[in-house]
A and B are shown apart, each in its own frame.
Chain A
C-alpha cells in the first residue's frame, strides 16, 4: 500500500472521531436515563435507582473504549500511548534504563559490526554485471582442494585446452600478477615496486569493466614485442598524473622498459580478484612462444577467470571441464592426477577469512544471547518489584493483554534505543577496525554499513525485544490481585518459578561466557606462541628490503652478482649498519622447494625424490642473520664464481638425509632426477653438483606455523641458473633499523635510479604483519570475551543483589538467632557460586564439543588444552564470587533489629 493512501485512510477514519465519541456519549446517556427511570418505577429512591442503573451498565470507560475500537485504528492510538507511557516509566528509573540500553547496545553493536563484515564479504553483490556467470578455475592435485590456502592455478596450456574444448564458457583467461619496478619519469616522483597485472585483452571484457578513457588491449598486443602498452587505475591516474586527460600516450617505465598508457580503468576491481597484491597497473600478457610448447604444461599457478554462457550452471561447467581434464591427464604424463575445480568468483572473495568469520559470528551470537538473557533477567526483577503497580492497573480495569502490551512497549523502546546506540558503537568500531586493518586482509576494506546492515540491526532489536520481553511480561502480569494489593508496601517474596527461571538464565549466561573465555584464551595463547616462537635467527635490529633486477638492464648472472655485491658492500659501509646480506631466504619468508639427488641413493618414484627448501645467498648470510654454524665452515670470500660450488645444510636436512653419516665433504646434485613424470620446467632447475661444507642451525623456512624444513643454502655467485632478479637485502643494524633506511635507499638510487627499495620492514614488523589476520581475530574475540564476561557479571550481580534484597528479613532473622556473618555471607555466595559452577560445567562441555571449529585457527595448542580448560572456569568462578560478594557484603551491614522492625 502506498503511504499517501494509507495516510488518507487514517485521516478519514479518525477525523470524525470526536463526533462519534460525542454521539456515543449521547446514546449512552439517553439509555442510562431510561434505565434510571425504569429502576425508579420499581419503587426505590432516585439515588439508588441511579446507582442501580450505573451498575447495570458496567464499566463505561471500557465499553467506550471497545466502541471506539470498532471505529478507529485503535492499535495506533494504543501504541503511541503505550510508547509514551513506557518512555515516562523508563525516565523514572534511569538506572535500569541505562543498564538495559548498554547491555543491548553491546550485544547489538557487536552483531552489527560482524554482520557488516559478513555482508561485505558474503552477501553484497560483486561490482560486475551478471556476476553470477563469473567463475574461477583451479587445478586440484589428486582430488585435494584446499579452500583456505591459495589453491593452485592451472598452466596456460591447460587453460588453452579448456577454452578450446569446453562448451560452457563465453570466455576464459589465464592471468598473473608480478611485482615490478615502475618509474613514472623525472617529474612524478620516486620509482616504486608495484603489483602489475599481466592480463590478456579478454580479462577486462570478461569482468565487463570499461576504461574511463582510452581503449582495451588488442589481441595483437598479447604477442611478445607488441606488449608495451599499459592500463592504469583511476587512483594511480589521480595520484601520479593529477587526473590529466592527456595521460594517454604518456610513457611509464616498467622494469626498465617503456610502456605507453592506453587506458585508465575505474577503481572497481576488488583487491582479492587479483592474485597477490592489488594491481594498479595492467599490461598485456605476452605469451612467450615457449609457454605454448608442451614443456610448459607443468607450469601451473596462473589465476584463471571465466564467464559462463547464460543458462549454464556451475555443475554443468564443472562436469564439462572434468571430462576435459581427465582427457588431458590421459594424454600428458605431467597432468596425471591433476583435476580441475570451478568456483564462483563471489565465493573466492571470502577465502581464508571464512573460518574466522564463522568463529566471530558464533562469538557475537553468544554475546547477543548473554545480553538478551541479561535483559530478560532485568525485566523479570523489575516486573516483580512492580507487582503492586501492575495490580493497581489491573484492578482499575486494565486487561492482561493491555498490561503485557504495556510491558512489551517498554522492552521495545529499550531495544530500539539499545539498537541505535549499538549501531553507533558498531560504526565507531568499524572505523577503528579500518584503521588497524591488517594488510593481509584486504577484503576488510569493503566493510561498511549499508541498508542491509541497518535492516539487520533493526530486525535484531525487534526480535530481541519480542523474544526476551514476552516471557517476563507474561510472568510479570500473572498476578493474584488480592495478594499483590494486600502486601502493602512490602515487595513480595518472589515465586519459586520466577526464581528458578532467573537462576536458569544466569546459568545459561555463565555457560556462554565460559565458551567465549575458552575460545579467546586459546586464540590468545596460540597467537602468543606464533609470534613468540624462535625463528632461528637474531630477530631484533634486522631490516629487510626487496629489490628486483629487471633482465633488460641486468642481462646475465654475472651482472646481477656484481650489482648485489656492490649494493651490499655500500650498505655495510653505512653508519649504524653492522652487516648486510643479499638473499632469497630468511624467516618467516618461504623459500622455494628444490629437488636434489644424493649420489648412491637412486629413486624410482616421484614421491621419493628428496626435496628441501632452497636459498641463494651471499657470504654474509649466517653472520647477518645470526644463524649458528653447528659444524664445518661458513661460506668464505674464497668461494667465488669460479671455485667449486659449496653448500650449507640445516640440522633438519642432516637429520632427514644424513642421519648416520657425516655430511661434511659429501657431494649432492641440485636438480631433479631424470624421471618421466617431471617436466623439465616444473622445478626451478639448478643443475650443479655441490659440496656440503657446513651444518647450520634450523630456522623457520616454511612459514610461521610449520616446523623448520630441511634447508640447503648456496651462493648465487656459484649458481647462475638460479641467480634471478628477485633479491632481498637484510641489514643488521646497531641503530633503530628504520633510521638507516633512507641512506640505504640513496645507495640504491646511486647504483640504479630506476630501482625502488620495496617493502622496507624490520623482521619484527614482518612477523607482526604475517600474523595480522590471526591477531585481528584474536583481538576481536578477546574483546568479545571481555564484553561477554562483563555482561555475565552484571547478570549474576543483579540476580544476587535482588535475592539479597528479597531475603533481607530472613537473613536478619538468622543473624538475630545467632548465625555468624560468615555463615550468612556464605549463604548468599553459595547461591551465586552454584549457578556459576553449573554454568561453567555446561560451558566446558559446549567448548569441548566446539573444538572442531577452533582447531583450524589454533597454533601449537590443542583445542581442548587442559590448562585453558582448567583456568577458564576457575577464573569465571572467582569473578562470579566477587560479583556475588559485593551484594553479599550488604548483608553484613544488616542491623537485625532494624530489619525486623520494618513493617
Chain B
C-alpha cells in the first residue's frame, strides 16, 4: 500500500519512509482530537511543506488505525463552522503504539546518522 509521496513540483519535498505515516498521525493526535484534513495540514505545516500527505494514503491509514483500535472516531460539530467532521482521538492503545513507533524511529534515525557521520577526510 502506498504510504505517502511527494509531488513532483518541489525537489525539496522528501519521500516518507514506509510506515512512518502511522507514527506521524498518532503524534499529531497527541495534541488533541483532529479530523483528517487537520491531520494532513498539520503535518504539512509543521514540516514546512516538506512532507505532503496524500489523501490516497491518509484515509486508508486512518481507517486502518481505527480498526486496530489505536484511534477512536466521533462525529462532532466543528467550533468555527456549521459542519460536522469526523474527529479522531488517540486511545490508550494508540499511545502505547506511538511510544513503540517513536523508539523504533529514534533507533533508525541514530543508525542512519551514524552511517552519515562526516568522513574523517571531510
Using CB atoms and an 8 Å cutoff, list the residues of chain A in contact with chain B.
23-24, 26-28, 30-31, 33-35, 56-59, 62-63, 66-67, 69-71
A interface footprint on B46-73 (CB within 8 Å = 1, 0 otherwise): 0000000011100110011001000000
Closest chain B residue to A58, Cβ basis: B56
In the complex, chain B residues whose CB is within 8 Å of the CB of A67: 59-60, 63
Which residues of the other chain, A, contact B54 by a CB distance below 8 angstroms?
Answer: 58
Given the known inter-chain contacts A58-B54, A58-B55, please indicate yes or no for A66 contacting B60, CB distance below 8 A.
yes
Contact A66/B86 with A31-B36, A58-B55, A71-B63 known, Cβ cut-off 8 Å: no
* Whole-angstrom CA separation of A27 from B59 in the bound complex: 10
B residues near A, CB below 8 A?
A: 1, 35-37, 54-56, 59-60, 63-64, 67, 83-86
Structural contact, B84 and A63, CB atoms closer than 8 A: no
Contact A26 B86 (CB under 8 A): yes
**Contacts A/B (CB < 8 Å), 11 sampled:** A24-B63, A26-B84, A27-B36, A30-B84, A30-B86, A58-B55, A63-B59, A66-B59, A67-B63, A70-B60, A71-B67
Instruction: Report chain A residues within 8 Å CB of B60.
Output: 63, 66-67, 69-70
Contact A31 B63 (CB under 8 A): no
Task: Contact check, A33 vs B56: say whether CB atoms are below 8 A apart.
Answer: no
In this complex, what residue of B is CB-closest to A31? B37
Chain A contacts for B64, CB-based, 8 A: 70
Residues of chain B with a CB closer than 8 A to A70's CB: 60, 63-64, 67
Inter-chain contacts of A24 with B (CB < 8 A): 59, 63
Residue of A nearest to B63 (CB): A70
Contact A56–B55 (Cβ < 8 Å): yes
Contact A66 B56 (CB under 8 A): yes
- Which chain A residues border B37 with CB–CB below 8 Å? 30-31, 34-35
CB distance from A66 to the nearest CB of B (A): 4
Q: How far is the CA of A30 from the CA of B86 in the complex (A)?
A: 9
A421 CB to closest chain B CB, in angstroms?
A: 40
Bound complex: CA of A30 vs CA of B55, how far in Å? 13
Residue in A28, A30, A56, A69 whose Cβ sees the most chain B Cβ within 10 Å = A30
CA distance in complex: A31, B35 (Å): 9
CA distance A35 to B40 in the complex (A): 11
Question: How far is B55's CA from A69's CA once the two chains are assembled, in angstroms?
Answer: 15
Contact A23 B86 (CB under 8 A): yes
**Additional pairs, 19, CB under 8 Å, beyond known A26-B86, A63-B59, A67-B63:** A24-B63, A27-B36, A30-B35, A30-B37, A30-B84, A30-B85, A35-B37, A56-B55, A57-B55, A59-B56, A62-B56, A63-B56, A66-B56, A66-B59, A67-B59, A70-B60, A70-B64, A71-B63, A71-B67
Instruction: Name the distance in Å between B19's Cβ and chain A's nearest Cβ.
Output: 16
Please give, as numbers and ranges, the residues of chain A lying within 8 Å of B59 by CB-CB distance. 24, 27-28, 63, 66-67
Q: What B residues does A58 contact at CB under 8 A?
A: 54-56
Q: In the complex, are the beta carbons of A66 and B83 less than 8 A apart?
A: no
**How many contacts A-B (CB < 8 Å)?**
49
Interface centre among A35, A69, A70 (most CB of B within 10 A): A70
Judging by beta carbons under 8 Å apart, are B55 and A66 in contact? no
Q: In the complex, A70→B1 CA distance in Å?
A: 11
When distances are taken between beta carbons in the complex, the residues of chain B under 8 Å from A31 are 35-37, 55
B2 nearest in chain A by CB position: A66
**Which residue of chain B lies nearest to A69 when distances are taken between CB atoms in the complex?**
B60
Given A31-B37, A58-B56, residue A66 in contact with residue B85 (CB < 8 A): no
8 tightest A-B CB contacts, nearest first: A66-B60, A31-B37, A70-B63, A27-B86, A57-B55, A70-B64, A58-B56, A63-B56
How far does the alpha carbon of A373 sit from the alpha carbon of B56 in the complex, in Å?
A: 41
A15 to chain B, nearest CB (A): 15
**In whole Å, how far is B1's beta carbon from the nearest beta carbon of chain A?**
7
Q: Which residues of B contact A35 (CB under 8 A)?
A: 37
Alpha-carbon separation in the docked complex, A31 to B36 (Å): 8
Q: Contact at A27–B55, with CB atoms within 8 Å?
A: no
How far is B72's CA from A419's CA once the two chains are assembled, in angstroms? 49
Write the nearest CB–CB distance from A764 to chain B, whole angstroms: 75
Residues of A contacting B56 in the complex (Cβ-Cβ under 8 angstroms) = 58-59, 62-63, 66
Contact B83 A33 (CB under 8 A): yes
Q: List chain B residues, Cβ under 8 A from A71.
A: 63, 67
Asked whether A63 and B55 contact (CB < 8 A) given A27-B85, A31-B35, the answer is yes
Q: How far is the CA of A868 from the CA of B2 in the complex (A)?
A: 61
- Closest residue to A56 on the B side, CB-wise? B55
Query: Nearest chain-A residue to B40 (Cβ)?
Result: A31
B residues near A56, Cβ cutoff 8 Å: 55
Distance between Cα atoms of A56 and B55 in the complex (Å): 8
Shortest Cβ distance from residue B27 to the other chain A in the assembled complex, whole angstroms: 20
A259 to B78, CA, bound (A): 104
CB-defined contacts of A28 to chain B, threshold 8 Å: 59
Closest to A27 in B: B86
Write out the residue numbers on chain B whose beta carbons fall within 8 Å of the beta carbon of A26.
Answer: 84, 86
- Residues of A contacting B36 in the complex (Cβ-Cβ under 8 angstroms): 27, 31
Q: How far is the CB of B76 from the nearest CB of chain A, in Å?
A: 11
Q: Could you say which residues of chain A place their CB within 8 Å of the CB of B85?
A: 27, 30
A819 to B64, CA, bound (A): 67
Name the B residues within 8 Å of A69 (CB-CB).
60
Enumerate chain B residues within 8 angstroms of A66, measured Cβ to Cβ: 1, 56, 59-60
Taken together as a complex, chains A and B put the C-alpha atoms of A762 and B67 apart, in Å, by: 82
For A59, what are the chain B residues with a Cβ–Cβ distance below 8 Å?
56
A24 to B60, CA, bound (A): 10
Chain A's nearest CB lies how many Å from the CB of B50? Answer: 17
- Chain A residues closer than 8 Å to B67, beta-carbon distance: 70-71
Chain B minimum-CB-distance residue to A35: B37
A30 and B73 CA atoms in complex are apart in Å by 15
For B1, B36, B56, which residue has the most chain A Cβ atoms within 10 angstroms?
B56
How many Å lie between the Cα of A451 and that of B107 in the bound state? Answer: 56
CB nearest neighbor in A for B7? A56
CB nearest to A34 among chain B residues: B37
- C-alpha spacing A19/B15, complex, angstroms: 34
Shortest Cβ distance from B86 into A: residue: A27
B3 CB, nearest partner CB in chain A, Å = 12
Cα A30 to Cα B35 with chains together (Å)? 10
Residues of A within 8 A of B83 (CB): 30, 33
Contacting residues, chain B, for A27 (C-beta < 8 A)? 35-36, 59, 85-86
Nearest neighbor of B60 in chain A, beta-carbon distance = A66
For A37, give the chain B residue with the smallest CB separation.
Answer: B81
Among B37, B64, B67, residue most surrounded by chain A Cβ atoms (within 10 Å): B37
Most A C-beta atoms less than 10 A away, residue of B1, B35, B59, B67? B59
Q: How far does the Cβ of A561 sit from chain B's closest Cβ, in whole Å?
A: 97
Once bound together, how far apart are the Cα atoms of A223 and B37, in whole Å?
A: 101
Alpha-carbon distance between A67 and B35 when the two chains are bound, in angstroms:
16
Q: Closest chain B residue to A57 by CB distance?
A: B55
Q: A26 CA to B1 CA in the complex, in Å?
A: 23
| B residues less than 8 Å from A62 (CB atoms) | 56
Residue among A31, A33, A69 with max Cβ neighbours from chain B (10 Å): A31
| Distance of A143 Cα from B85 Cα, bound (Å) | 90
User: Taking the nearest CB of chain B, how far is it from the CB of A229, in angstroms?
Assistant: 77
C-alpha gap A57/B36 in the complex (Å): 12
Contact residues in B for A57 (Cβ distance below 8 Å): 55
Q: Which residue of A lies closest to B55 (CB)?
A: A57
Residues of chain A within 8 A of B55, CB atoms compared: 31, 56-58, 63
A58 to B86, CA, bound (A): 20
Nearest-neighbor residue (CB-CB) of B64 within chain A: A70
Least distance between B68 CB and chain A CB atoms (Å): 10
Most buried by A among B60, B64, B67, B84: B60
Q: Which residue of B lies closest to A24 (CB)?
A: B59
Q: What A residues does B63 contact at CB under 8 A? A: 24, 67, 70-71
Instruction: Please report the C-alpha to C-alpha distance between residue A27 and residue B85 in the assembled complex, in whole angstroms.
Output: 6
Complex Cα distance, B59 from A30, in Å, reads: 13
Please indicate the chain B residues that have their CB under 8 angstroms from the CB of A34 in the complex. 37
CB distance from B51 to the nearest CB of A (A): 15
A375 CA to B54 CA in the complex, in Å?
43
CA distance A58 to B4 in the complex (A): 12
Residue in chain A with minimal CB distance to B54: A58
Cα distance A69–B61 in the bound complex, in angstroms: 11
Q: Nearest chain B CB to A29's CB is how many angstroms away? A: 10
- Measured CB to CB, the nearest residue on chain B to A66 is B60
